[in-house]
């Protein structure tokens, strides 16, 4: 079973390498790398900043930098996500240094952080998986989750927007969370 | 399968999590896992952020820039920078606060350079115009005006009439016709009064023409040498009435009637049309006149024959500086649709006024 997992991992690495090489010769192919790493980078950043706007801003900067510097990337058998997270860590450190010297220690810690370890951070991976699963929810459940947790609207406001009863919206919220828990459990079991 | 109490319990716990409820309640273990997820979901990215960031990257990969501001009225600008006091909505050439406008500095610099060049070009144009000295264009301009020549005789066919003036028995004596004039003050006589109280030059009414200088006036066609005015009446020489010279009638010269001459010229008007120039190259401006900026008119008298060719060109009004010669030289080459009387081409005399102007 471990051999099969190792083979699958190797196949994934080979596929990622081909994607990187394709994107280096044709930048429009960068979208595929972006799709497969967006939630991981965002989750990594969101754990380290205090608000959503800043997390989105830094995530955007990370991918723009990655696109601009893709030509310098050299394949060393490390997942592409590790390179992205190192860019994210440096970006965070630069930002913190600009904000105040008081957080210099925090910045140094972030800079010292091993990007490979960050890529394997289970909390980051779990959060990235969760965010990705939200995108796969049925449309009505996803809408309730986005309104409730991103826009922070009340059940009543969401019910008015959707033209449904508050009870129905609560049911959708519950089912969405149940679905996410179920899929998270299944995915974790598959990975382990 | 009734989950309603769980829904309410979960929603109340989420309210607490989001800070929308004050009272803290104890949640059962079945909700703990869901609330852990809810805790994580508070950091979800905004709706469409992923899609819009991908769009930005695709545009950047294609070498372009894109504005994504205003893509969603519901959400703040994508990738809004966290500078709280800065609400700059347009990209700047310097600094990084672009508020969702992914912009290449090279493009901004190029745009700035192009605008600067345009401003400099406009400014240089103004300076050049201000410093330019006004110049007179010395390109010569020549206009030609055709004008009927005011004949010194009447408007009928001009075959001047002679007449006999003294009722003598002998025909008119031989001699030269007297000079031409517009009006006849005194008809020619064979035997002139040597001591007149009011000396007057005897003339006939006819176009000017060069005649031999002689004191012997008479009929050029006569063979008689003896002085006689002829058997006609009214003065002059000849056998008919009038004041002219010749066998005709009237005050002219020759064998016709009325006034005029013997050469068949017609006056323009009264049924005689004006010739029309059909080939009329413009005269050149002489270099001397151009240099001295001489302008003015040269008036030429010309006979336009029945064949449309100009003849007997004379300068009536001169301008000098070589312009008279230039006018003559050019008009000689002209061709006319000749004057016509009753559809028949006839020869006429006319003025040709050549205007030489510098503009």
Asked if A149 and B18 come within 8 Å (Cβ–Cβ), the reply is yes
Q: End-to-end CA distance of chain A: give it in Å, rounded.
A: 11
Which residues of chain B have a CB within 8 Å of the CB of A145? Answer: 41, 44
Average pLDDT over chain A, rounded to whole?
82
Nearest CA in chain B to A169: B7
**B4 touches A at CB < 8 Å:** yes
Task: Test A47 with B43 for CB contact under 8 angstroms.
Answer: yes
Tell me the two tokens of residue A163.
Answer: 């033209």
pLDDT confidence of residue B182:
58
Q: What is the pLDDT of residue B268?
A: 81
Do B54 and B36 contact (CB within 8 A), yes or no?
no
Residue A38 banded pLDDT, cuts 50, 70, 90: very high
pLDDT grade for A158, boundaries at 50, 70 and 90? very high
**Percentage of chain A with pLDDT > 90?**
25
Q: What CA–CA distances, in Å, run from A9 to A6, A15, A144, B202, B329?
A: 5, 10, 35, 139, 105
Minimal CA separation from A57 to chain B, in Å: 4
Looking at CA atoms only, how far is residue A113 from chain B in angstroms?
22
Q: Which residue has the higher pLDDT, B6 or A32?
A: A32
Residue B261: is its pLDDT beyond 60?
no
| pLDDT, averaged across chain B | 72
- Name the residue among B156, B160, B154, B153 with its Cα closest to residue B240: B160
Q: Could you tell me the pLDDT band of residue A61, with boundaries at 50, 70 and 90?
A: very high
Do the chains contact at A34 and B18, CB–CB below 8 Å? no
* C-alpha angle B199-B200-B206 in degrees, rounded to nearest 5: 165
Interface contact flag, B82 A150, Cβ < 8 Å: no
CB atoms within 10 A of CB B268: 23
Element housing B180 (H / E) = strand B180-181
| Closest by CA position to B325, among listed B290, B298, B355, B294 | B298
For B182-331, list the strands marked E by DSSP: 204-205, 276-279, 296-304, 310-317
Q: Which residue of A has its CA nearest to B102?
A: A64
- At B113 the pLDDT is 94
Does ipTM top 0.85? no
What pLDDT, in 10s, does the model give residues B60-71?
887 744 444 444
Chain A residues with CB inside 8 Å of B74's CB? Answer: 151
Split at pLDDT 50, 70, 90, the class of B32 is confident
Separation in Å, CA of B33 to nearest CA in chain A: 8
- Name the pLDDT band for B148 (thresholds 50, 70, 90): confident
Round to whole Å and give the CA distance between B244 and A176: 135
Interior CA angle at B82 toward B78 and B84, to 5°?
120
Query: What's the confidence (pLDDT) of residue B25?
Result: 59
Residue with tokens 């991992």: A9
Q: Strands B180-181 and B204-205: what pairing?
A: parallel
Closest residue in B to A48 (Cα) is B43
State the DSSP H helix or E strand holding residue A142, giving kind and residue range, or none if neither.
helix A139-145
What confidence score (pLDDT) does residue A42 get?
93
User: Confidence band (pLDDT; 50, 70, 90) for B285?
Assistant: confident
What's the pLDDT tens digit per position in A88-127? 999 988 888 877 654 555 555 555 454 445 556 788 888 8
Chain A residues close to B78, C-beta within 8 Å:
56, 60
Residues recorded for chain A: 192
State the count of interchain CB pairs (< 8 A) between A and B: 122
> Residue B94: pLDDT above 90?
no
Q: What is the DSSP string of A3-24?
A: HHHHHHHHHHHHHHHHHHHHHH
Which residue in the set B38, B44, B81 is minimally distant from A131, CB to CB?
Answer: B44
Q: Out of A28, A35, A149, whose CB is closest to B41?
A: A149
Worst-scoring range by mean pLDDT, A162-176, B171-185, B242-256? B242-256
How far off is chain B from A155, nearest CA to CA, in Å? 8
Contact A130 B54 (CB under 8 A): no
From the list A31, A126, A134, the residue facing B44 with the nearest CB is A134
What is the rounded distance in angstroms from the CA atom of residue B303 to the CA atom of residue B318? 18
Cross-chain Cβ contact A56/B79 below 8 Å? yes
pLDDT of amino acid B311? 87
Question: Looking at the DSSP assignment, which residues form a beta bridge with residue B315?
Answer: B300
pLDDT at B306 > cutoff 70: yes
Contacts of A148 in chain B (CB under 8 A): 14, 18
Structure tokens at B168: 């003598």
Indicate if the pLDDT at residue B262 is higher than 90.
no
Chain B residues 171-190 with CB within 8 Å of chain A = none
Chain A CB within 8 Å of residue B85 CB: no
Query: Given a cut of 50, is residue B193 above it in pLDDT?
Result: yes
Does position B76 have pLDDT exceeding 50, yes or no?
no
* CA nearest to B10 within chain A: A174
Minimum Cα–Cα distance from A171: chain B residue? B7
Query: Most confidently modeled of B19-28, B94-103, B112-121, B266-275?
Result: B112-121
Calculate what percentage of chain B has a pLDDT beyond 90.
Answer: 9
**Nearest by CB: B79 against A60, A67, A178:** A60
Q: Which of A29, A146, A150, A168 to mutate to test the interface with B (most CBs of B within 10 A)?
A: A150
Task: Verify whether the Cβ–Cβ distance B10 to A27 is below 8 Å.
Answer: no
Task: Give the residue with greater pLDDT, B351 vs B78.
Answer: B351
- pLDDT at position B74 over 50: no
Q: What is the pLDDT of residue B166?
A: 63
C-alpha torsion sign, points B286, B292, B297, B299: negative
On chain A, the residues whose CB falls within 8 A of the CB of B14 are 148, 173
Chain A CA closest to residue B18: A152
Task: For residue B154, report the phi and psi dihedrals to the nearest 5 degrees.
Answer: -75, -165
């Amino acid at each position: 079973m471990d051999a099969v997992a190792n083979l699958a991992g190797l196949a994934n690495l080979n596929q990622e390498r081909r994607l990187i090489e394709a994107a280096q010769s044709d930048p429009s192919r960068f979208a595929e790398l972006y799709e497969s790493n967006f939630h991981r980078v965002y989750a990594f950043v969101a754990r380290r900043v205090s608000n959503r706007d800043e997390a989105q801003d830094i995530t955007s900067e990370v991918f723009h930098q990655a696109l601009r510097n893709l030509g310098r990337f050299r394949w060393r058998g490390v997942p592409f996500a590790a390179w992205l997270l190192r860019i994210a860590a440096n970006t965070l450190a630069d930002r913190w240094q600009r904000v105040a010297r008081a957080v210099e220690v925090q910045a140094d810690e972030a800079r010292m952080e091993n990007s490979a370890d960050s890529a394997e951070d289970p909390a980051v991976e779990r959060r990235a998986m969760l965010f990705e699963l939200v995108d796969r929810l049925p449309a009505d459940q996803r809408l309730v989750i986005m309104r409730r947790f991103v826009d922070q609207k009340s059940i009543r406001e969401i019910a008015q927007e959707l033209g449904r009863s508050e009870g129905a919206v609560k049911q959708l919220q519950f089912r969405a969370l149940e679905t996410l828990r179920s899929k998270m459990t299944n995915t974790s079991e598959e990975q382990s | 399968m009734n989950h309603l109490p769980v829904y309410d319990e979960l929603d109340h716990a989420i309210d607490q999590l989001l800070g929308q409820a004050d009272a803290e309640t104890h949640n059962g273990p079945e909700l703990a896992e869901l609330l852990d997820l809810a805790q994580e979901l508070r950091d979800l990215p905004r709706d469409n952020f992923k899609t819009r960031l991908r769009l930005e990257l695709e545009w950047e990969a294609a070498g372009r820039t894109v504005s994504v501001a205003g893509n969603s009225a519901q959400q703040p600008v994508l990738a809004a920078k966290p500078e709280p006091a800065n609400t700059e909505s347009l990209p700047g050439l310097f600094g990084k606060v672009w508020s969702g406008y992914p912009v290449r500095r090279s493009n901004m610099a190029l745009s700035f350079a192009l605008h600067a060049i345009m401003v400099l070009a406009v400014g240089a144009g103004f300076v050049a115009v201000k410093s330019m000295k006004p110049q007179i264009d010395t390109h010569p301009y020549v206009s030609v005006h055709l004008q009927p020549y005011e004949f010194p005789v009447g408007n009928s066919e001009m075959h001047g009439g002679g007449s006999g003036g003294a009722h003598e028995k002998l025909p008119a004596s031989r001699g030269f016709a007297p000079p031409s004039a517009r009006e006849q003050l005194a008809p020619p006589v064979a035997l002139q009064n040597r001591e007149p109280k009011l000396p007057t030059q005897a003339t006939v009414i006819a176009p000017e023409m060069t005649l031999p200088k002689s004191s012997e006036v008479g009929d050029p066609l006569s063979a008689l040498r003896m002085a006689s005015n002829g058997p006609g009446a009214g003065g002059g020489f000849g056998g008919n009435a009038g004041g002219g010279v010749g066998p005709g009638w009237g005050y002219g010269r020759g064998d016709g009637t009325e006034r005029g001459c013997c050469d068949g010229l017609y006056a323009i008007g009264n049924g005689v049309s004006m010739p029309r120039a059909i080939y009329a190259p413009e005269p050149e401006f002489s270099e001397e006149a151009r240099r001295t900026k001489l302008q003015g008119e040269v008036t030429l008298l010309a006979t336009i024959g029945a064949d449309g060719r100009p003849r007997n060109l004379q300068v009536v009004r001169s301008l000098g500086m070589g312009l008279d010669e230039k006018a003559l030289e050019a008009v000689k080459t002209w061709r006319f649709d000749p004057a016509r009387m009753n559809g028949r081409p006839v020869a006429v005399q006319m003025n040709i006024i050549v205007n030489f102007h510098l503009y």
